[in-house]
């Protein structure tokens, strides 16, 4: 039997980083531009060998193997260069959480992650002076199977470990013994009663191979339940299931509900935007055309689900704080999923580029269906050669800072005087780009294709020399003729005689 070992630290504060590893950020489709944090109660501390309880009524208890930094001397307003000198030790930790309360906590993680025993640490400490903070390794096993592995190089971490110390010290004093949990790599998932989780931090390329040893935690089922008269009871949805398990597939969920079916996509690829626009207008929707945008290449057809990006008018102070580094524009492109169309609000301002060849290539590699911008396109010819459907107002060589500040994504935007919501259906061809509300997409696609078939039949009759009166659209005897022709097999249709 694995008996609990002493907890190697007694922190006054436990601060945890939301997202720090590229692999975890890419798994979730969003990368932070700056670190963000939450607090865990010191009473959540646990030791190697402890048993942790999954609360009654909950199903989504998940592990997160993490590197813990232990503060050795007080840090207040320290620089990045000084920060590591304030770290006494590193060790293994398991940032356990119950997703059944996560949405209700709205980012604070108070109930989901601060339960008793939900921060096991140890079993041993590694002297921070003996290791390179960019040469550590974190690994996690569940029931003996390796499920997580990550490092601390620039290729692994969005932010260096020392940055957390420096950043937090600008806001409050980090005191001796305080612990910073530095985020988890991809691979975190749900565990159930009976599972055994082991986490180890080591420095495999350092002489002597320093290691924290394996931090071992066993899961058991809890009893009782939360009194709804006192507080919130567990509540989950498919979004929480997906994030707890790590993917929709792992959670046993159907394909992404924001995606469109292959059948609907095929219909929309066949239907022209002119016909779709007419069907939307007949249903009372007139302002669905993204005005002023054209395909880079004639003959382009584009169908996809809208992901949105918004630029604000250029302002020097805001561009300084929001324009550089991993800004909203880069994050939006990195988060694209297969079949999505990135729609960019640039206020119909064509005198600055809103994307270039590198970002277009990133979208292409991620399987995006296209890009629409009511602004300019830099690297116009290289972007065209990438082969991704791109619709815009034309070429312009200037960078963002001349006219725009990248501001936010995944929100309602106005592109080319049309409102676009994330999840809307976007269709583009040589006539332009239109926006279709998701709940109408199937209906208007079927109606547009039916009208296309009718118009094709009418065109054949006109080509035969018939006048358009009563024929376009078909009425009376022409309508009867059309109904008969479309109901009859191809070989049994009537000739060109007018009714």
pLDDT digits (tens, 9 = 90+) for 433-465: 999 999 999 999 999 999 999 989 999 999 999
Can you tell me which residue has the tokens 């180890």? 200
3-state class of 436 per DSSP? strand
Known binding-site residues equal 356-359, 378-379
Q: Decide if 362 is inside a domain.
A: yes
Q: Give whichever of 99-113, 229-243, 325-339 has the largest mean pLDDT.
A: 325-339
**Are 133 and 174 in the same domain?**
yes
CA distances from 419 to 92, 259, 268, 433, 437 (A): 48, 20, 20, 12, 10
Q: Are 170 and 118 contained in the same domain?
A: yes
Q: Average pLDDT, whole number, for the chain?
A: 91
Residue at 454 is within a domain: no
pLDDT in the model for residue 257: 64
Structural domain contains residue 157: yes
| Residue 81 and residue 135 in one domain | yes
Establish if 102 belongs to a structural domain.
yes
Whether residue 31 has pLDDT greater than 90:
no
Q: Do 428 and 320 share a structural domain? A: yes
- The answer to whether residue 372 sits within a structural domain is yes
Q: Which of 196, 219, 245 is the last residue of a domain?
A: 245
Q: Which residues are annotated as a binding site for Mg(2+)?
A: 379
Confidence of residue 499 (pLDDT cuts 50, 70, 90): low
CATH number of the domain that residue 334 is part of: 3.50.30.40
Domain identity same for 154 and 278: no
Residue 417: CA count within 13 A, CB half-sphere = 6
CB 400 within 8 A of CB 329: yes
Q: What is the spatial distance between Cα 93 and Cα 447, in angstroms, rounded to a whole number? A: 58
| CA 164/CA 174 separation, integer angstroms | 11
277 lies in the same domain as 214: no
My answer on whether 182 and 279 are in the same domain is no
Domain carrying residue 307: 262-442
DSSP state of 193: T
Number of structural domains in the chain = 2
Residue 367 shares a structural domain with residue 322: yes
Last residue of a domain, one of 392, 426, 442: 442
Beta-strand runs (E) in 143-210: 145-151, 179-181, 196-202
| CB 243 within 8 Å of CB 103 | no
250 lies in a domain?
no
Question: 418 versus 228: which is more confidently predicted?
Answer: 418
* pLDDT tens figures, 390-411: 999 999 999 888 899 999 999 9
Q: pLDDT by residue (tens digit) across 66-98?
A: 999 999 999 999 999 999 999 999 999 999 999
Q: What pLDDT score does 1 carry?
A: 44
Which tens digits make up the pLDDT trace of 47-60?
999 999 999 989 99
User: First CA to last CA across the chain, in angstroms?
Assistant: 93
How much of the chain exceeds pLDDT 90, in percent? Answer: 75
459 located within any domain: no
Does any domain span residue 450? no
Domain boundary at 421, 442, 463, which? 442
Residues at the binding site for substrate are 356-359, 378
Give the list of residues 6+ apart from residue 347 with CB closer than 8 angstroms, or none: 311, 313, 374, 375, 414
What predicted TM-score, i.e. pTM, was given to this entire model? 0.65
In 3D space, the residue among 213, 182, 201, 151 whose CA is nearest the CA of residue 69 turns out to be 182
């Amino acid at each position: 039997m694995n008996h609990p070992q002493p907890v190697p630290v007694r922190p006054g504060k436990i601060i945890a980083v939301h997202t720090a590893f590229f692999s975890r950020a890419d798994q979730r489709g969003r990368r932070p531009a700056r670190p963000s944090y939450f607090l865990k109660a010191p009473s959540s501390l646990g030791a190697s060998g402890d048993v942790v309880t999954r609360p009654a009524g909950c199903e989504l208890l998940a592990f997160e193997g993490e590197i813990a930094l232990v503060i050795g001397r007080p840090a207040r307003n320290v620089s990045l260069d000084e920060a590591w000198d304030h770290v006494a030790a590193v060790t293994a930790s398991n940032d356990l959480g119950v997703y059944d309360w996560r949405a209700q906590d709205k980012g604070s993680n108070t109930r989901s992650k601060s339960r008793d025993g939900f921060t096991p640490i140890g079993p041993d400490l590694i002297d921070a002076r003996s290791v390179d903070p960019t040469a550590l390794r974190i690994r996690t096993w569940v029931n003996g199977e390796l499920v997580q592995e990550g490092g601390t190089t620039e290729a692994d971490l969005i932010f260096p470990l020392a940055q957390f110390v420096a950043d937090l010290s600008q806001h409050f004093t980090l005191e001796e013994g305080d612990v910073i949990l530095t985020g988890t790599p991809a691979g975190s998932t749900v565990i159930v009663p009976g599972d055994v989780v082991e986490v180890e931090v080591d420095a495999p390329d350092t002489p002597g191979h320093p290691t924290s040893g394996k931090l071992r935690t066993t899961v058991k089922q809890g009893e009782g339940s939360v009194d709804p008269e006192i507080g919130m009871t567990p509540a989950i949805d498919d979004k929480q299931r997906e994030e707890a398990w790590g993917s929709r597939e792992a959670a046993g969920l159907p394909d992404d509900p924001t995606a469109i079916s292959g059948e609907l996509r095929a219909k929309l690829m066949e239907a022209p935007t002119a016909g779709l626009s007419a069907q939307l207008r007949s249903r009372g929707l007139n302002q669905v055309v993204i005005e002023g945008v054209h395909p880079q290449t004639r003959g382009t057809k584009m169908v996809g689900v809208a992901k949105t990006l918004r630029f604000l008018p250029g302002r020097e102070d805001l561009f300084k704080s929001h324009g550089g580094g991993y800004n909203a524009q880069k994050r939006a492109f990195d988060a694209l999923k297969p079949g999505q169309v990135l729609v960019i609000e640039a206020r119909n301002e064509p005198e600055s580029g809103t994307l270039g060849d590198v970002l277009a290539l990133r979208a292409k590699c991620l399987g995006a269906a296209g890009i629409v911008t009511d602004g300019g396109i830099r690297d116009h010819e290289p972007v065209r050669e990438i082969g991704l459907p791109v619709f815009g107002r034309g070429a312009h060589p200037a960078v963002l800072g001349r006219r725009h500040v990248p501001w936010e994504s995944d929100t309602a935007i106005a592109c080319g005087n049309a409102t676009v919501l994330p999840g809307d259906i976007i269709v583009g061809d040589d006539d332009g780009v239109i926006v279709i509300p998701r709940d109408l997409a199937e209906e208007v696609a079927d109606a547009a294709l039916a009208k296309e078939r009718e118009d094709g039949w009418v065109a054949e009759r006109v080509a035969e020399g018939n006048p358009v009166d009563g024929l376009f659209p078909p009425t009376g005897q022409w309508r009867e003729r059309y109904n008969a022709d479309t109901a009859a097999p191809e070989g049994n249709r009537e000739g060109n005689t007018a009714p």
